Structure 1
Amino acid sequence: MSLLSGLDSVAIVGYFLRLGQLLSTGVPFSLVAVEDTLRAGIGNRCLFLWSFCFSASLLILLTELCIFQSRIPHYWDGFLHVYAYYFAFICLSASIMFGITYIQYLPQGPVQNYAITATAFSAMASVLYALEVPWVCARPGNIYCFVPTTQGVIRRLENAVACVIFGFITNTDLYQHQPALIWCVVVYSICFILGAVNFFINGCDRDNDRRLSIPYPGFLVGQTVLSILLYTTAVILWPLYQFDKDFGGQPQRSNDMTCSGELPPTLCVWDQRLAVAILTAINLLAYVADSAYMALVFVG
């Protein structure tokens, strides 16, 4: 009763929003998990994304119910704002990838109905996460929501691109045969985690708000420089070991049996390798631009 008595209308809206997110990510996760036909290729990647979103949303709900966020100074609203932004993007990507891969290629029947239902609930999840972004900003007393500067947009891009990369590398066939490619996966994970930690300890986009100082500028600089160094190794090793024949790669798309016209184009492993290579280069450029912008700000 003490917990319920402390709830106001704003908190209740938040809890219903969170329960909707749990339902709309839990349903596609459950449907794909129980159907072997949907767990191949893209299905496994989407399964990982939905389970990740469900787990994170459940953890946040438990934190809010236990009022633990009151012990995290200054950062909770900003964290929720960024979390909702990224998860809306993740669920939208999963909906598109899963829908175009399975719905049109499966024969009519229970499995296709599972695919349609999973896609619909995933799209619903992306809408619910997107709704949380303005809802967090509208909460009374929230001073951490504002239009991000150029540097803030770049940082969001870095983690958004990393989320797309994770969607591809959940297919372990892309890298498990080569230690150098496993290193690239480690690079993507380390840089994403460091970026998420930076968002959290620096109040998400607080470092882009001219009204507020950066609590930990040293971590911000170190994270950006380290990410540049790590991504430089990945942008070299990933294409080298994926497309150079001397290193066990496959330079010709036509030699990849998964790229035949009988299969959905999204299942082509060669295209997935190429997509990760392009996204790695994009993220390296983003980190370089972030570093350059930061240097101009500090010098200025």
Structure 2
Amino acid sequence: MVYIHVTHIAALLSSCVSFGLIIWSRRWDGDVGVLCVFCWAFSFIGSLLSLLMEIFTFHKSVRLLFWRNILTTISSYAALFCLNASIIFPHYFLKGQEDNEFYSHCIVAEIFSCIATLGHLAEVWIMWIESKCYMATGPGLLLVSQTYIASAIFFFLANAVSFKDHPAVIWSLAVYCTCFICTFASIICCAFQNKHNRIWLKGFNLIAAVMYLSASWPVFQLSQDLGQIVGPGSCQDDLGLWPETRLIVVVALTALNFLLYLLSVCCCCMLPSNDDEEEEEKEHRPSSNTSDPCPTQTSDETRAVLPVARTRDLQQYNTTSSNVILRRTDLRIEQPSINIHNSNVQIIVKT
């Protein structure tokens, strides 16, 4: 777990430098600036809380696997957010920048943002190798990716179209919200139980894939009908995208999430569930009947003949009879004494 602490500290310091420089410059206005600051703040707060919980051993009050699932989930979201900020930040802040001091601050913030991304990715990779938590596996990471893409869809769809003027998009928004809530609830359940319900995830992922497929059509139709979407006062946003371009991005993200839900269905079909693994362990586990203290002797059981050197000890131990019945599997000869536990194997002593 030493490597986990190193990645925590690296991500903590890097994200702190990134959003600290931008806030100090006081030029983070706009949707893109607020988004970048939110991504770095989420990385900083998540790393700080995780590090404090481990230092003061607050995590010992919960199960170890649950704590690792929480760490993996936070690191996965932080890695995606920092990656998002590292991509859109230079396109918005460094393009056409004439202030040399602010330009140098942006370069430093971009470098540390990439370092924070690598730190969180390294933490997820270490969890995937060392721990057995569910959120570090492929299905768990797919759940995180699905919710992240849904949040990106909300960001691009927010200012692209008026839902009052286009009721068909309400169905798409309802699909995105419903799938986002159900997927996030699945993440919480899997983190608590450290396993998945294969029947629930298989059915939900299949239904969500069909719903995403149906939601992409209204948005695609509206993106083609530019006369209904683009008004006379429409213009480019902070990212340089027109409203119809934002809708095309929403369609692309919808198709990507559709593929991720189909991939989750395939994973649920290929990977065995935890209940099946427990049943297989019970089947391969050797059955022992402890209620019968003296099991009967089988027909294939042969007679055990003790060494001649131990015959004298047996004669002294059994003073009442020369024929003693012992069980072969329960007879243990130890140096320098002999321990006899049961009487099921017949020992013949020749005088």
Q: How many Å apart are 1:122 and its aligned residue?
A: 0.9
Query: Is the CA contact 2:75–2:124 (under 8 Å) kept in the aligned structure 1?
Result: yes
Give, in whole Å, the separation in 2 of the partners of 1:146 and 1:187.
Answer: 24
**Taking structure 1 as reference, are residues 53 and 203 closer, same or farther at Cα in structure 2, changes over 3 Å only?**
same
**Taking structure 1 as reference, are residues 48 and 232 closer, same or farther at Cα in structure 2, changes over 3 Å only?**
farther
Residue 258 of structure 2 corresponds to residue 273 of structure 1: no
2:260 to 280, 286, 298: 286
Give, in whole Å, the separation in 2 of the partners of 1:166 and 1:176.
Answer: 17
**Taking structure 1 as reference, are residues 107 and 257 closer, same or farther at Cα in structure 2, changes over 3 Å only?**
same
Q: How many Å apart are 1:98 and its aligned residue?
A: 0.8
**Taking structure 1 as reference, are residues 206 and 184 closer, same or farther at Cα in structure 2, changes over 3 Å only?**
same
* TM-score using structure 1 length: 0.68
**Taking structure 1 as reference, are residues 232 and 204 closer, same or farther at Cα in structure 2, changes over 3 Å only?**
farther
Aligned-partner SS, 2:99: coil
Residue 201 of structure 2 corresponds to residue 231 of structure 1: no
Give, in whole Å, the separation in 2 of the partners of 1:165 and 1:32.
Answer: 27
**Taking structure 1 as reference, are residues 107 and 278 closer, same or farther at Cα in structure 2, changes over 3 Å only?**
same
Give, in whole Å, the separation in 2 of the partners of 1:172 and 1:84.
Answer: 26
Using CA pairs under 8 Å that are at least 6 residues apart, name the structure with larger relative contact order, 1 or 2: 1
Q: How many Å apart are 1:67 and its aligned residue?
A: 1.9
Query: Is the CA contact 2:142–2:264 (under 8 Å) kept in the aligned structure 1?
Result: no
Instruction: Extract unaligned runs of 5+ from structure 1.
Output: 1-9, 208-213
Q: In structure 2, what residue type is equivalent to 1:275? A: V
2:132 to 143, 161, 175: 143
* TM-score using structure 2 length: 0.59
Q: In structure 1, what residue type is equivalent to 2:50? A: I
RMSD: 4.1
Query: Is the CA contact 2:14–2:115 (under 8 Å) kept in the aligned structure 1?
Result: yes
Residue 12 of structure 2 corresponds to residue 32 of structure 1: no
Q: Which residue of 1 aligns with 2:179?
A: 191
Deviations 1:44-102 (A, max 9, x none): 33223223333333443344335235413633324433543443233123212212332
Give, in whole Å, the separation in 1 of the partners of 2:177 and 2:57.
Answer: 29
Q: Which residue of 1 aligns with 2:229?
A: 249
Query: Is the CA contact 2:72–2:136 (under 8 Å) kept in the aligned structure 1?
Result: no
Query: Is the CA contact 1:20–1:128 (under 8 Å) kept in the aligned structure 2?
Result: yes
Aligned-partner SS, 2:229: coil
Q: How many Å apart are 1:220 and its aligned residue?
A: 2.2
1:76 to 67, 82, 87: 67
Pairwise mapping of residues 57-136 of structure 1 onto structure 2 (< 5 A)?
Answer: 57-64=47-54, 65-68=56-59, 70-72=61-63, 74-136=65-127
Query: Is the CA contact 1:228–1:287 (under 8 Å) kept in the aligned structure 2?
Result: yes
Query: Is the CA contact 2:236–2:242 (under 8 Å) kept in the aligned structure 1?
Result: yes
Deviations 1:197-246 (A, max 9, x none): 43453359966xxxxxx4x3354245424533543453234334444347
Query: Is the CA contact 1:44–1:170 (under 8 Å) kept in the aligned structure 2?
Result: no
Give, in whole Å, the separation in 2 of the partners of 1:268 and 1:286.
Answer: 26
Q: In structure 1, what residue type is equivalent to 2:256? A: I
Aligned-partner SS, 2:109: helix
Query: Is the CA contact 2:201–2:265 (under 8 Å) kept in the aligned structure 1?
Result: no
Q: Which residue of 1 aligns with 2:36?
A: 46
Q: Which residue of 2 aligns with 1:258?
A: 236
Give, in whole Å, the separation in 1 of the partners of 2:259 and 2:110.
Answer: 33
Give, in whole Å, the separation in 1 of the partners of 2:220 and 2:98.
Answer: 37
Q: In structure 1, what residue type is equivalent to 2:229? A: G
Pairwise mapping of residues 173-188 of structure 1 onto structure 2 (< 5 A)?
Answer: 174-175=159-160, 177-178=162-163, 184=172, 187-188=175-176
Q: Which has the higher helix share?
A: 1
Q: In structure 2, what residue type is equivalent to 1:280? A: T
Larger radius of gyration: 2
Q: In structure 1, what residue type is equivalent to 2:159? A: L
**Taking structure 1 as reference, are residues 295 and 50 closer, same or farther at Cα in structure 2, changes over 3 Å only?**
same
Q: In structure 2, what residue type is equivalent to 1:277? A: V
> Among the aligned pairs, what percent are the same residue?
21
Aligned-partner SS, 1:38: coil
Q: How many Å apart are 1:128 and its aligned residue?
A: 1.2
Give, in whole Å, the separation in 2 of the partners of 1:56 and 1:189.
Answer: 24
